[in-house]
Structure 1
Amino acid sequence: MDLAAAAMSIHANVERVIDGKSEAIDTAITVLLAEGHLLIEDVPGVGKTALARALARSIDGTVHRVQFTPDLLPSDITGVSVFDQARAAFEFRPGAVFANIVIGDEINRASPKTQSALLEAMSERQVSVDGTTYPLAPPFMVVATQNPVEMEGTYALPEAQRDRFMARISMGYPDATAELAMIHGHDRVEPVEELESVVPLADFTAMIGEARAVHVSDAVGRYVVAISTATREHPRIYLGASPRATLQLVRAAKARAAMAGREFVLPDDIDVLAEAVLAHRLIVDRGAPPAATLVRDIVATTAVPQGS
């Protein structure tokens, strides 16, 4: 099975659980294939956690779920060294972050100190505890869900934390047809529990390498840089896209191209992903249009540089 066919199989498998959200599923698969992390922001009960669990089951990966609460400690996430009296030595007990897909449920209900415990794992794919570094096995992806910041009992994610997420999506409510299908499909058993793997974990790891090898021309590279630069120079944007954002937009575009069966990135790949990858990283002035609207405007007015 080639990469494009495998991606379609994963999509179809996840769609058995998440009805009517094809675009959100595509973005989630793209981020996983690009070795990124996904932030899902929406109200409770729209399938955020189910999407992550279905994705993990589809690739036969390990999955750990962390329910973020105000009393959650950083060591609950990273792990802790415990003294073993029988061996007269400290033994490391891994935390919830040691999995292929880590679901951080309602991440903005934990304190900023606990949220920051994920920073090293997300950026360097390792955990340091008591001076010892423990690598995280690939593939590794954090799928964090959060309710809108305006809701009671939430803490806004700091800029450094948001910048670690490759993309942010919103699930939204299902349409009437999809919601009716849920009534009949979820009344006897939870559909995600019946999902089986469609792509072995080793095969998916190989797919990541294929996506990484997709070609990005100089013209497309200049196009991405032009978009990022425009966010930094926009008069209504206080904080523009970081260099990390530029790199992650390219990585996501390479994964999308691979899923489409191409060995090269098109400007269209950048256009489709720009909002999901860039908008959550920007800080706009008071009274300005939403960041997503500004990103769409920038993409629409940025010319694609000519050349190979």
Structure 2
Amino acid sequence: MTPDALQPVRDHIASRIIGQQRFVDSMLVCLLSDGHLLVEGMPGLAKTTAVKALADSIEGDFHRIQFTPDLLPSDLIGTDIYRHEKGEFEFREGPLFHNVLLADEVNRAPAKVQSALLEAMAEQQITVGQRTYPLPDLFMVLATQNPVEQEGTYHLPEAQLDRFLMQAVVTYPTRDEELLILELDASEQQRNEVVPPKRLSQQELFAIRRAVSAIYIDPKLLSYIVDLVQATRQPKLYDDALARWCRFGGSPRASIALARCARARAWLDGDEFVAPHHIQLIAPEVLRHRLLLTFEAEAEGITTDEFINRLLNLVAIP
């Protein structure tokens, strides 16, 4: 399988979204790496539209659920319904049993809902009472959150943040891109029919994932990945400023995520092996939600991306 197999998916997303190439690439890397994506951005930046465009391009069921403070775990998982004619309970599946799940404003849900989502993301299964139900082979969570509006929100626990393979940050479009957005909106209003996109089958997707997992990574680059993650835990070995800024670093899951995403990035670029620039390109998305900065860093206005960029400049490339 070659990157051309994903061209219909790219074309459909490009027909709905102007710009945001890094965000689109993050969605594709997560899809090919069998991971989940956390999307952060201001309202109105087409986060939901992009996720829907991706889901429309893939064979499978899609469901969007708006997370609210009164949401219950059963609203996600499903519940047992008593069938009087049978005299027994029957399980009715919830939104988690869809292939692609958009969790809109995920940080508005309370802790019990977060824990239900955590089990699904971590184990690809859910538990109801004493029974465990497997989720589909193709199961991807794309969760959005607003970075500024904190009223009525619940902080995502670090354990759940770590289950997201990547965190994408969606920024404002440029002036030229915004003009194109207005043109796209006008053309969509005048369009009578929407032509359904050519959908990528699940068999094709799984074949692509096997091709991605076969991408070669040199042992020296595996050591480089480990050095990067180790440096988030022991920053004092590299720089005093890094040591002041970071409280907690990435876990071994971060190293695994870096290797998997680097393979997917190399495959998307049409390369047969991973190079250092593939690792550096996806490092911010893989690491930014796994680091916890100090109060001193926040007082100095240091962001996780600035910490990661400094880290990439200090850790030697083999």
TM-score after normalising by structure 2: 0.90
Q: Which amino acid aligns with 1:292?
A: D
Is 1:139 the equivalent of 2:146?
no
Q: Which amino acid aligns with 2:317?
A: V
Q: Which residue of 247, 257, 275 corresponds with 2:284?
A: 275
The 1:231/1:250 distance shift into structure 2, 3 A limit, reads same
Is 1:220 the equivalent of 2:221?
yes
Q: Structure 1 stretches (4+) deviating beyond 3 angstroms?
A: 187-195
> How many percent of aligned residue pairs carry the same amino acid?
40
Structure 1 counterpart of 2:104: 105
2-side partners of 1:195 and 1:154: how far apart? 36
Between the two proteins, the alignment pairs up a number of residues equal to 304
Deviation at 1:171, TM superposition (A): 1.4
Checking the alignment, whether the CA contact within 8 Å between 1:13 and 1:195 is kept in structure 2 is no
Is 1:162 the equivalent of 2:175?
no
Contiguous gaps of at least 5 residues in structure 1: none
Checking the alignment, whether the CA contact within 8 Å between 2:8 and 2:198 is kept in structure 1 is no
Structure 1 counterpart of 2:127: 128
Q: Which amino acid aligns with 2:44?
A: G
Checking the alignment, whether the CA contact within 8 Å between 2:38 and 2:142 is kept in structure 1 is yes
Deviation at 1:93, TM superposition (A): 0.9
Contiguous gaps of at least 5 residues in structure 2: 236-242
Deviation at 1:8, TM superposition (A): 3.4
**Which structure 2 residues correspond to residues 180-259 of structure 1 after superposition, within 5 A?**
180-187=179-186, 189=188, 194-234=195-235, 235=243, 236-259=245-268
- 1:248-284: CA deviation from partner (whole Å, max 9, x where unpaired): 1111111111222233221111100100100111101
Structure 1 counterpart of 2:273: 264
More divergent stretch after superposition (82-91 vs 217-226)? 82-91
Deviation at 1:124, TM superposition (A): 1.3
Structure 2 counterpart of 1:28: 27
Deviation at 1:54, TM superposition (A): 0.5
Q: Which amino acid aligns with 1:300?
A: N
Checking the alignment, whether the CA contact within 8 Å between 1:70 and 1:109 is kept in structure 2 is yes
Checking the alignment, whether the CA contact within 8 Å between 1:54 and 1:195 is kept in structure 2 is no
- 1:59-110: CA deviation from partner (whole Å, max 9, x where unpaired): 2331111100000001111111222121122211111111111000000111
1-side partners of 2:198 and 2:130: how far apart? 37
- 1:32-79: CA deviation from partner (whole Å, max 9, x where unpaired): 110111011111111111111111111233111110000000111111
TM-score after normalising by structure 1: 0.93
Checking the alignment, whether the CA contact within 8 Å between 1:149 and 1:156 is kept in structure 2 is no
Deviation at 1:204, TM superposition (A): 1.2
2-side partners of 1:230 and 1:86: how far apart? 62
1-side partners of 2:183 and 2:200: how far apart? 28
The 1:176/1:210 distance shift into structure 2, 3 A limit, reads same
Deviation at 1:200, TM superposition (A): 2.1
More divergent stretch after superposition (266-275 vs 148-157)? 148-157
The 1:205/1:94 distance shift into structure 2, 3 A limit, reads same
1-side partners of 2:296 and 2:5: how far apart? 44
2-side partners of 1:195 and 1:286: how far apart? 49
**Which structure 2 residues correspond to residues 25-174 of structure 1 after superposition, within 5 A?**
25-174=24-173
Checking the alignment, whether the CA contact within 8 Å between 1:24 and 1:169 is kept in structure 2 is yes
